[in-house]
Chains A and B, each alone.
Chain A
Amino acid sequence: MATSSVLAAPSPTGARAFLKRLRSGDEVARLITLAFATSILLVTVGLLYELWIGSALARQRFGFGFLTSSAWDPVSERFGALPFIYGTVVTSAVALIIAVPLGLGAAIFLAELAPPRVSSTFTFFIELLAAVPSVIYGLLAIFTLVPLMRTVVEPFLSRTLGFLPIFKGAFYGVGYLTGGVILAIMTLPFIISISREALLEVPTEQREAALALGATRWESTWQVVVPYARLGIFGSIFLALARALGETMAVTMVIGNDPSIRASLFAPGYTIAAIIANEFTEATGEIYLDALVGLGLVLFLLTIVINAVARLLIIATTRRGSTNP
């Protein structure tokens, strides 16, 4: 994007040249838009900076032990991030275990089997699901999902699979499992929508070649098309994971708010986002507040890493797709 410069002769001083360039509207426009664009950079850096200094006391007191300690005791001022990291990871894992097979199956159906009209109508509705605010999912979860879990699903799991450590113990309706289920519902639209697009990008020649070689429709899909689109599919999974990690409201309302580490999925737990939402306005004491900001920093770094991996995967798959003749 070369800027227009009318005069061929170079100007003596840098400042003069700059001012001369300023006369052209293009340069002004470039600078203005550049300024706005830089604001994004400033905000991101500022965010990281505020999180860093806002958690200074906690980092000084606990160091890396903050990440491995499972205490959360405001009375004795001992804080550790482990129960919340655990809760965040467990609920997200449950969400993915439920949502990925379901989402991938739906995406395959919509991309491969459904007639185009059905496919776009279904996709339209599913993408509307993605627009529903989190607090509304929470509202629905409290009054429908939690009783359902407590009276139907969890007793059933306890009776049939109760020998497994993850399904042992008392169930209350709230807890890791319910948190995971609501997250699954919330991340489903992302997985379906992005995986479907990745599948649609696969050239028809691939499918036809497989079928010509005698594969069944399913074999062509599962053994040829899906692997071809796997990078995009993984990308969608990572994006869904990033969303699940940061999800606040719906999870806060059904997680049980108990900062402990338990093996059973029926047990109440806590996630990073949930405890910040619950305790931020009330943390009395500097270390307490800094510990919460420190949790925010941990969450921020986690989502950065996941997002970076997801973007790389999606870029790789689109590049792959477009270089094929």
Chain B
Amino acid sequence: MTLRNRWRKTLSYMMLSLTGVCAVLAVAVLFLILGYLFYNGWRSLDWDFLTKLPKPPGERGGGMANAIVGSLQIIFLATLIGLPVGFMAGVYLSEFGGKTFAFLIRYMADLLNGVPSIVIGIFAWTVVVVPLHHFSALAGGLALSLILIPVTARSTEQFLNSVPQTLREGALALGASKWRTIATVVVPAAYRGIATGMILGVARIAGETAPLLFTSLNNQFWSTGFDQPTASLPVMVFTHAIAPYDDWHRQAWAAGLVLLLGVLVANIAARLILSRGISVQR
């Protein structure tokens, strides 16, 4: 073998090993991050954290029960608004859309998808907080729903598109009207994918912090009703992480763990649902 060929072979071996190193590094980062969070969060999590209200700054103890429930309140509102709107929009794009208008909607949805969440927060502030003169779970939920709608719309459309046309034609041939076909044949066929898309969307907004900073603000107490400032886990993690109190740091880890567990469980569940259903090209 000539020298040049030997060099080419060595180079090939080196570079390919290097790519392996890259892959291992990438996954290693993940494990380090999650591992560190789990370790610290696990040590910090206690029963008080899950059941008690926060204490005044500087005092040890207390918990973030109101933040956990508050997050659920805000996410509930966001999904209430966001999922139906997104789903319906996705149905339109896939089943009814003409060429130009659907293209426009799709483009806008992708645009909204890329908008930084802090800008959405500004929008929710001007549209909900200022007119109502209130920080509220409603404003926070609306801001998050604005993130959820385009995500849900596009994923719903994608999975509906993947349903074979023959299914639709068969139903129509049997005399069903179009909307019946969609409701009873197409949507159930794509059900798994649509549900996955929804779960992933909700998991994503569950972790959003920036839009909540000036819409739902925060609260020391339970929030009764959706028109009050509401505590939420991501905001708590933020405020406690940058504070100087060691006990607040401990609680930030615990809150981070709870938040991450929620998000990861949703993600893994969604992927499992999908993998057992129709395999759809991304």
A residues touching B (Cβ–Cβ < 8 Å)? Answer: 1, 4, 24-26, 28-30, 32-41, 43-44, 46-47, 50-51, 54, 101-106, 108-110, 112-114, 122, 124-126, 128-129, 131-140, 142-144, 185, 188-189, 192, 197, 216-219, 221-222, 242, 245-249, 253, 273, 276-277, 280-281, 293, 296, 299-300, 303-304, 306-307, 311
Q: Hey, which chain A residues are within 8 Å of B25, CB to CB?
A: 102, 106
Q: Which positions in B face A, CB cutoff 8 Å?
A: 8-9, 11-13, 15-16, 18-23, 25-27, 29-31, 33-34, 36-37, 84-85, 88-89, 91-93, 95-98, 102, 104-105, 108-123, 125-127, 146, 149-150, 153, 177-180, 182, 200, 203-204, 206-210, 213-214, 234, 237-238, 241-242, 249, 252-253, 256, 259-260, 263-264, 267-268, 271, 282
Given contacts A106-B26, A218-B11, contact A307 B114 (CB under 8 A): yes
Given the contacts A37-B92, A140-B37, A247 and B123 also touching, CB distance less than 8 Å: no
Contact for B179 among A29, A102, A104, A299, CB less than 8 A: A29
In the complex the two chains form, is A44's CB within 8 Å of B111's CB? yes
Contact of A246 with B118 in the complex, beta carbons under 8 Å: yes
What residues on B are CB-neighbors of A253 within 8 Å?
Answer: 238, 241-242
Contact of A40 among B125, B153, B178, B237 (CB under 8 A): B153
Q: Please indicate the chain A residues that have their CB under 8 angstroms from the CB of B263 in the complex.
A: 131-133
Cross-chain contact B127 with A50 (CB below 8 angstroms): yes
6 pairs from A and B in contact (CB 8 Å cutoff): A128-B267, A140-B36, A185-B33, A192-B26, A218-B13, A280-B125
Rounded to whole angstroms, the CA-CA distance of A102 and B24 in the bound complex is: 10
Given A133-B207, A135-B237, A219-B8, does the pair A54, B264 have CB atoms closer than 8 Å?
A: no
Residue pair B119, A300 in contact (C-beta under 8 Å): yes
| Closest CB in chain B relative to A150 CB, distance in Å | 17
Task: Report the bound CA distance from A325 to B134 in whole Å.
Answer: 60
Summarize B's interface: helix, strand, loop or mixed. helix
Question: Cβ of B119 and Cβ of A138 under 8 Å apart?
Answer: no
Give Cα A242–Cα B119 distance, bound, in whole angstroms: 14
Tell me which residues across on chain B come within 8 A of A217, comparing CB atoms.
12, 16
Residue of B nearest to A118 (CB): B23
Q: Is the CB of A33 within 8 A of B89?
A: yes
For B31, give the chain A residue with the smallest CB separation: A125
- Residues of chain A contacted by B19 (CB below 8 angstroms): 105-106, 108-109, 112-113
Which single member of A126, A273, A300 contacts B26 (CB below 8 Å)? A126
Decide if A124 touches B271 in the complex (CB within 8 Å): yes
- B29 pairs with A188, CB closer than 8 A: yes
Q: Which of B9, B15, B29, B36 contacts A222 (CB 8 A)?
A: B15
Bound: A54/B161 CA distance, A = 39
Best-buried of B23, B150, B203 by chain A (most CB within 10 Å): B23
A112 cross-chain contacts in B, Cβ below 8 A: 16, 19
Question: How far apart are the CA atoms of A319 and B109 in the complex, in Å?
Answer: 21
Of chain B, the residue at the smallest CB distance from A216 is: B12
Closest to B149 in A: A40
Nearest CB of chain B from residue A270's CB, rounded to whole Å: 14
Which B residues are in CB contact (< 8 Å) with A277?
A: 118, 210, 213
> Which of A39, A110, A134 contacts B209, CB < 8 Å?
A134
Q: Is A246 a contact of B23 with CB atoms below 8 Å?
A: no
- Contact of B114 with A304 in the complex, beta carbons under 8 Å: yes
